[in-house]
Structure 1
């Protein structure tokens, strides 16, 4: 208890908490985009529940991993060597997760550009994702993002309570933003393609990181922000054209 009180009265601890919480929220955007796109394939009555389950799983995974920080830190030690380079378990997990993310984003883009290929051999019935399949895929990416997040957090502070508080705050923000973001993405088809492009970029970055090529996160998020700004201008332009068309027709 004295330890917690000491942290609560330490300005440096609050600065570390604010910095770490901000980082966790920003990193959570990747996870939230993936969850939103996947759950929008479910029947409408199951979507909100699936999002809550996926985000809840992320919280449980991160808190569980925080309880094994000593083990997580050891994941950065090389366990095999290939092509003259050492790879740790963290590298292997990042590469596998990045490949999965690129594969999934590519598949979703292909389906949206040419949906008929998903219908071959299935008659006229649409392909609908199942809750189990969606939650399973969310858990895979939750694990990848959680391990990377925890390792980053360990590099920023040694205090577990600060890490726990930052993780809980970030996941709470994700939980609040999940439904509005998913509905916004669903209502704007061009946003879906943009989000899938973001996921491919993030997946490629994870693969590069696993191979020891570290791309500063600031560059990635700056590119994403610029693309989002351009899309916002396009949406505003489309809205203006539709409004003019309605006024002219009236």
Structure 2
């Protein structure tokens, strides 16, 4: 308790907490977009439940990973080297997560462009269906990738685990509050879905690049996303005025 009181009286800790909360919320946007797009494919009565479970899993994963910070930090240690490029467990996880995100976004874009492409060649000629369990598994996989990246970034900003825990809880609660409104907004505006899938493609590419040691400043990525969202908002306003 004395240690917590000491932390609470340190202005530098409060500054780190504010910065960390902002970072966690921004990083959570990627996760939230993915969850919204996936759960919108479920029957309407399952969507809100799916979003809550997905975000709840994100919270559980991040808190569990925070309890093993010492192990998480070691994930950045090189495992092997290929053509002079070292690879760690973190790099491999980011590359796998990025490839999954690119594959999923590409598949969803293809479905939007061609809603009835015929039998699924990967499903033995049967039409592929969307199940609640399948959606939750996909959300869990991306939760794991985003959670590890989030925790490693948090460790680089502060050494105080209680500060990280508070930041994670606040960020996930923010995601929980924003989940249903964002999902409904995406559902009501089909062009937003394509824009969001484009964001996921870009984020997947960024994760792959990070895994291969190419650092992409996240500020540039989020600035591009914000600009694209602004252009789409202007397009939506123009369409409403014309109708």
TM-score normalised according to structure 2 size: 0.96
Aligned equivalents of 2:127, 2:191: Cα separation in 1 = 21
Residue 206 (structure 1) aligns with: 207
Corresponding residue SS for 1:115: coil
Q: Which moved more, 1:126-135 or 1:38-47?
A: 126-135
Residue 21 (structure 2) aligns with: 21
Residue 239 (structure 1) aligns with: 240
Residue 101 (structure 1) aligns with: 101
Q: Deviations over 1:118-145 (max 9, x none)?
A: 55699xx985411100000000000000
Residue 247 (structure 1) aligns with: none
Residue 92 of structure 1: CA displacement? Answer: 0.2
CA 1:237–1:162: 2 relative to 1, 3 Å: same
CA 1:172–1:70: 2 relative to 1, 3 Å: same
CA 1:163–1:120: 2 relative to 1, 3 Å: closer
Aligned equivalents of 1:107, 1:46: Cα separation in 2 = 22
CA contact (8 A) 1:54 1:139 kept: yes
State how 1:156-167 maps to structure 2 within 5 Å: 156-167=157-168
State how 1:57-206 maps to structure 2 within 5 Å: 57-117=57-117, 128-206=129-207
Aligned equivalents of 1:200, 1:126: Cα separation in 2 = 25
CA contact (8 A) 1:41 1:128 kept: no
Residue 83 of structure 1: CA displacement? Answer: 2.2
Residue 46 of structure 1: CA displacement? Answer: 0.2
CA contact (8 A) 2:62 2:147 kept: yes
CA 1:153–1:194: 2 relative to 1, 3 Å: same
Aligned equivalents of 1:219, 1:229: Cα separation in 2 = 15
Residue 74 of structure 1: CA displacement? Answer: 0.3
TM-score normalised according to structure 1 size: 0.93
CA RMSD in angstroms comes to 1.4
Q: Deviations over 1:31-81 (max 9, x none)?
A: 000000000000000000000000000000000000000000000000011
Q: Deviations over 1:142-183 (max 9, x none)?
A: 000000000000000000000000000000000000000000
Residue 88 of structure 1: CA displacement? Answer: 0.1
Corresponding residue SS for 2:215: coil
Aligned equivalents of 1:32, 1:117: Cα separation in 2 = 28
Aligned equivalents of 1:98, 1:120: Cα separation in 2 = 23
Aligned equivalents of 1:127, 1:49: Cα separation in 2 = 22
Aligned equivalents of 2:118, 2:12: Cα separation in 1 = 54
Aligned equivalents of 1:175, 1:128: Cα separation in 2 = 27
CA 1:126–1:176: 2 relative to 1, 3 Å: farther
Task: Give aligned pairs, total.
Answer: 240
Residue 220 (structure 2) aligns with: 219
CA 1:119–1:240: 2 relative to 1, 3 Å: farther
Residue 7 of structure 1: CA displacement? Answer: 1.1
